Amino acid sequence: MKFTELLAGAWAKNDSLLCVGLDPDPAKFPPHLKDKPDRIYRFCTAIVDATADLVCAFKPQIAYFAARRAEAELEAIIHHIHEFHPGIPVILDAKRGDIGPTAEQYAIEAFERYKADAVTVNPYMGRDSLEPWLAYADKGVILLCRTSNPGGSDLQALEVGASRTALFERVAEKVAKEWNTTGQCGLVVGATFPQELARVRAIVGDMPLLVPGIGAQGGDISATVKAGQTAAGTGLIINSSRAILYAGQGEDFAQAARGAALETRDTINRYRKET
């Protein structure tokens, strides 16, 4: 099944635009897990099992696994999601950006080794850097556009060309009009810039937007939903990581995470209905 089909199914089945980011930091784990050799796997799968009926996607961040030599655990966690929660897409947050044979190897890593349904990619080397990813026509390719960090403005807000269009808008136009040859592309647009989010939505139509920046980064849920949802009330993959993962520090951490995810999902839905 194509990424966009999986995503649409999860939006509908779970009535959710919430994505839970899997950024496992063992220093923040509950005490009973910190010394376990399989602590990353146990922590992440417990979070997944507790929240899978509340989300439209899971988003593991590859750096948190690679830094701790936990790539095998990442493979196992993604396998666990696919086996026990089929229909919930996995977005590998890797932000890869290269060309030619190197990009081909990154695509093999994401889609064949890890079996991710989608991956985040840096588009700033141009169209040829995307072609190895687009060769996997059923997989999602989610390109950085207007990121949630303050420093993103250093380059992404620069005005370019005779029309003095912001660079992030030019990226959105390129993806929507020229690069989305498989129909499986999406964009990363931060919740911390709702006006820019609205501008991107106007450019790309119903294309999925992965939206980081709520929760610990302070993005406003109401503004995010109003700026970014489609006419059908979908179109968004609103990510929250730390605020859900570390909602509890006891042995009931997974239930605490479920409570935080439920509250976030329901808050998002309240604003969907008000708009």
Residues tagged active-site? 95
d(CA 213, CA 224): 10
| Residues facing 93 on adjacent strands | 61
Contact 131, 139 (CB under 8 A): no
Residues 6+ apart with CB under 8 A from 70: 24, 40, 64
Structure tokens at 268: 């998002």
Quick one: CA dihedral 100, 66, 10, 174, positive or negative?
negative
DSSP string, 42-67: HHHHHHHHHHGGG-SEEEEBHHHHHT
Q: Could you tell me if 194 and 223 are in contact, meaning their C-beta atoms sit under 8 angstroms apart?
A: yes
Retrieve residue 179's tokens.
């690069």
Cα distance between residue 185 and residue 187, in whole Å: 7
Q: Partners of 236 in the beta sheet?
A: 209
Query: 158 in the Ramachandran plot: left (φ > 0), alpha (ψ -120 to 50) or beta?
Result: beta
84 to 50, 53, 79: CA distances (angstroms): 12, 11, 8
